[in-house]
Structure 1
Amino acid sequence: MTFAPHRVAVLAIDQVVGLDLGTPSQVFGTARTDDLAQLYTVDTCTQGRRPVRSTAGFQVLPDHGLELVETADTVIVPGIHGGPPMTDGTLDPAVAAALRAAHQRGARIMSICTGAFVLAAAGLLDGRRATTHWAYANLFRQLHPDVDLDPEVLFIDDGVLTSAGVAAGIDLCLHVIRTDHGSEVANRSARRCVVPPWRDGGQAQYIERPVPRTAETGTAATREWARQRLHEPVALRDLAEHARMSVRTFTRHFRSETGLSPAQWLLRQRTEHARLLLETTDLTVDQVARHAGFGTTSALRQHFHHRVGVAPSAYRRTFRHTP
């Protein structure tokens, strides 16, 4: 049987953000099978196959027009900077119709950063949770009051997928790879892109917050130390002692850097480790609970269901075998 890669269309609008435009091809291009076959193909299109300006001082000369949107499995709208639909919430009728038709036939629709303004102008975000760059949250709410905007997360998957500013598009693309092919493939893609496979916290940690400038005031080394000991009990005092800080100082720095309390962060790390074990090993659920540091199966079930939305056994049935 011939393998057909998943087709991704990147729809560029005038004043497209250069980094956002290149993110899908870079991230999805690294997703491969064990025998190195590409899992995705990524192409760029514009309305009428016309050149569009980027914010990076170059023009985009696409190989495709809107017909690419008609056949793609996934359609991604990168961020834009200025001009409609950011100024007045309007969108060219042909572009809006193409996006709506793609959504109606079941294509996955995504946006990066302010690309959410395009999807909202097409009417695809009304009544849904969505996000965009935190700096444009107030403008977005003014133009699209029917969208449930959450500017404090990195991405949202609510039927239509949206991501926060700039680099959060990488997080969203890795999330899609993880959803399609499991954590192992997504982690390999992240390593090839030299980025973390999962970033903790949300946009809140980037909104006008001071960033520690030296290793002495940071908690990164302690977080890595804790990741290596997820199977062991790790108390807040243990973390603070490793960082050579008081508990109060450590907690303040930790929340500033991650947007989470140490306890919340540990739970997320343990849950993600449990996900990986469920996907890639034959360990029993009880063994996964111990290896991930939950101790008991009931604790794993409780926290896993709260974070992932399903029981560990149901998650394994869905993701144990790579599609």
Structure 2
Amino acid sequence: MLRNVAVLALDGAHAFELGVFCEVFGIDRSQDALPGYDFALVSATGDSVPTRHGFEVRAQHGPERLAAADLVCVPAYDLTVRQPPFLVEQLRAAADRGAQVVSICTGAFLLGEAGLLDGRRCTTHWRYADELARRHPLARVESDVLYVDEGRVITGAGTAAGVDTCLHLVRREHGSAVANAVARRMVAPPHRDGGQRQYRERPLPQGRTGSLAPVLAWIEANLDRELTVPAMAHRAHLSPRTFARRFRQETGTTPLQWLTGQRVLAAQHHLESTGDPVAAIAHRTGFGTVDNLRHHFARRLGTTPQAYRRTFAAPPDGTP
């Protein structure tokens, strides 16, 4: 059972991610019959550290405090700031003696430096996933999840996914009732559907100049039609085989995979910006049925159309 929690205040720390750990594990909720923790904020020097936001955070403990921790929390930090090697060694030592280690966002990079990601599944913010994989090739980086639980090592994705990560840990250690109560105190959902895929930036068509550019624009304008490869090839005045070959050369994927991606993008747009029924959106985007739309939505984004709309749809009155 986790009782003793140490949170690293790193040079260049991101305040939100640091605050998530402090919120979940650093507040006494015993009056609500919830678990309490022996909480400590730790820095490399046991003194103030600058955050990336222009203010400092004062930590009352140095890295030796990690020796007593059951749980060591590593928040996000500015990757251009090199953390002291002895802090990495202390983190590795804590893990070696059996402490639980959890990171949020770029905090995973410090776990990687300590060798704690080697051979393990892990995650970070989707923007940094490729860089994490490059720096730590033995890590099995997953960019489309909110968190990864590998037993003694848990890694969370970017920013708000830190809340999901911490609530998952609370749920695992204390059960759903406790995690739900903590979530209510934080005015946060105890569990979110889907993963990071639904939050990725969606590239918009930009001034294509390739030989298939007019065909791609036509397809995007006619997603509600039954679009087969022969039909698309006919539009391009090519044989289906030649069309498929050129299509992969220009887009890096097959015609049907690209078409499905465009239909999902269009469905996302309609779910965000309209109140139209999901059945109407399925028809308008060429999926035909709600079941077909739901199937491809889940495969591409890891969530359902209804859950996506609840997360991203603008309020009816347009207020934020």
Q: If the TM-score is normalised by the length of the shorter chain, which range does it land in?
A: 0.5 to 0.7
Distance in 2, Cα, partners of 1:71 & 1:133: 29
Distance in 1, Cα, partners of 2:167 & 2:97: 24
For 1:49, what is the secondary structure of its paired residue?
A: coil
Q: Please state how far the C-alpha of 1:28 moved relative to its aligned partner.
A: 2.9
CA 1:31–1:81: 2 relative to 1, 3 Å: same
Q: Show the 5 A alignment for 1:3-22.
A: 6-22=3-19
CA 1:190–1:212: 2 relative to 1, 3 Å: farther
Query: 1:200 maps to what in 2?
Result: 193
Q: Show the 5 A alignment for 1:202-241.
A: 202-209=195-202, 212=269, 217=274, 240=278
Alignment partner of 1:125 out of 117, 123, 127: 117
Deviations 1:271-319 (CA, angstroms, capped at 9, x unpaired): xxxxxxxxxxxxxxxxxxxxxxxxxxxxxxxxxxxxxxxxxxxxxxxxx
Query: 1:255 maps to what in 2?
Result: 297
Q: Please state how far the C-alpha of 1:138 moved relative to its aligned partner.
A: 1.9
For 1:76, what is the secondary structure of its paired residue?
A: strand
Deviations 1:174-225 (CA, angstroms, capped at 9, x unpaired): 0011001111110111111111111111111111147658776369xxxxxx
For 2:45, what is the secondary structure of its paired residue?
A: helix
Quick check: which has more Rg, 1 or 2?
Answer: 2
Alignment partner of 1:162 out of 131, 138, 155: 155
Matched residue type, 1:191: R
For 1:44, what is the secondary structure of its paired residue?
A: strand
What is the total number of aligned residue pairs between the two structures? Answer: 236
Matched residue type, 1:168: A
Query: 2:12, 2:81 within 8 Å by CA — same for their partners in 1?
Result: no
For 1:48, what is the secondary structure of its paired residue?
A: coil
Q: Show the 5 A alignment for 1:173-188.
A: 173-188=166-181
Query: 1:95 maps to what in 2?
Result: 87
Query: 1:254, 1:261 within 8 Å by CA — same for their partners in 2?
Result: no
TM-score between both structures, scaled by the size of structure 1: 0.64
Q: Please state how far the C-alpha of 1:5 moved relative to its aligned partner.
A: 7.5
Query: 1:5, 1:41 within 8 Å by CA — same for their partners in 2?
Result: no
Q: Please state how far the C-alpha of 1:132 moved relative to its aligned partner.
A: 0.7
Counterpart check, 1:44 vs 2:41: yes
Q: Please state how far the C-alpha of 1:104 moved relative to its aligned partner.
A: 1.3
Query: 1:152, 1:202 within 8 Å by CA — same for their partners in 2?
Result: yes
Query: 1:16, 1:54 within 8 Å by CA — same for their partners in 2?
Result: yes
Matched residue type, 2:201: E
Alignment partner of 2:142 out of 145, 150, 164: 150
Distance in 1, Cα, partners of 2:71 & 2:64: 13
Deviations 1:142-191 (CA, angstroms, capped at 9, x unpaired): 21111111111110011311010011110010001100111111011111
Query: 1:31, 1:186 within 8 Å by CA — same for their partners in 2?
Result: no
Distance in 2, Cα, partners of 1:213 & 1:18: 34
Distance in 1, Cα, partners of 2:303 & 2:7: 37
Query: 1:28, 1:177 within 8 Å by CA — same for their partners in 2?
Result: no
Query: 1:297 maps to what in 2?
Result: none
Query: 1:275 maps to what in 2?
Result: none
For 1:176, what is the secondary structure of its paired residue?
A: helix
CA 1:214–1:138: 2 relative to 1, 3 Å: closer
CA 1:153–1:44: 2 relative to 1, 3 Å: same
Distance in 2, Cα, partners of 1:29 & 1:50: 18
Distance in 2, Cα, partners of 1:14 & 1:197: 30
Q: Please state how far the C-alpha of 1:126 moved relative to its aligned partner.
A: 0.9
CA 1:261–1:200: 2 relative to 1, 3 Å: closer
Alignment partner of 1:104 out of 93, 96, 100: 96
CA 1:213–1:8: 2 relative to 1, 3 Å: farther
Query: 1:114 maps to what in 2?
Result: 106
What do you get for the CA RMSD once the two structures are aligned?
A: 3.2
TM-score between both structures, scaled by the size of structure 2: 0.65
CA 1:260–1:141: 2 relative to 1, 3 Å: closer
Deviations 1:122-146 (CA, angstroms, capped at 9, x unpaired): 1111111111111112221221111
Distance in 1, Cα, partners of 2:294 & 2:305: 13
Matched residue type, 1:198: H
Query: 1:276 maps to what in 2?
Result: none
CA 1:254–1:71: 2 relative to 1, 3 Å: same
Query: 2:278, 2:305 within 8 Å by CA — same for their partners in 1?
Result: no
